[in-house]
Amino acid sequence: MAHTIRDKEKLIARVRRIKGQIEGIERALAAEAPCGEVLRQVASVRGAMNGLTSELFDDHLRAHVLEAASDADREHGAQELMGIVRTYLK
């Protein structure tokens, strides 16, 4: 997926931070933290997931559409993006 070693490390670090946030929600639930606090942590994960999605979208558009090796690859990369966008806009 990641298109350079540097991107790969950066994306994995980003996903690990999200995992840390999820573990925070698990702990908050176990400790019976106030409802409003848990809902705010959940909203915060949503923001982080949106940022990750946006980065993956850009990477994909760059690697599999702009820099596609052939017209067929470019068409295929574009079809995947359309499918993803449809999922989010359902």
34 binds its own copies (CB under 8 A): yes
Q: How far is the CB of 59 from its own copies (least distance, A)?
A: 7
Closest to 40 measured CA to CA, from 49, 51, 50, 28: 28
Instruction: Supply 2's token pair.
Output: 């990641």
Q: Which CB, 35 or 69, lies closer to its own copies? A: 35
Torsion angle, CA of 17/81/43/26, rounded to 10 degrees? -50
Please select the residue that binds its own copies; options are 69, 70, 73, 85, rule is CB under 8 A. 85
- DSSP SS3 for 68: coil
What does DSSP assign to residue 32?
Answer: T
Closest separation between CB of residue 25 and its own copies, Å? 5
HSE (side-chain half, CA atoms, 13 Å) at 86:
6
Instruction: Based on the shown chain and the rule CB under 8 A, indicate whether residue 4 belongs to the binding site for its own copies.
Output: no
Residue ranges in contact with its own copies by CB under 8 A: 1-2, 8, 11-12, 15-16, 18-19, 22-23, 25-26, 28-30, 32-40, 42-43, 45-46, 49-54, 56-66, 74-75, 77-78, 80-90
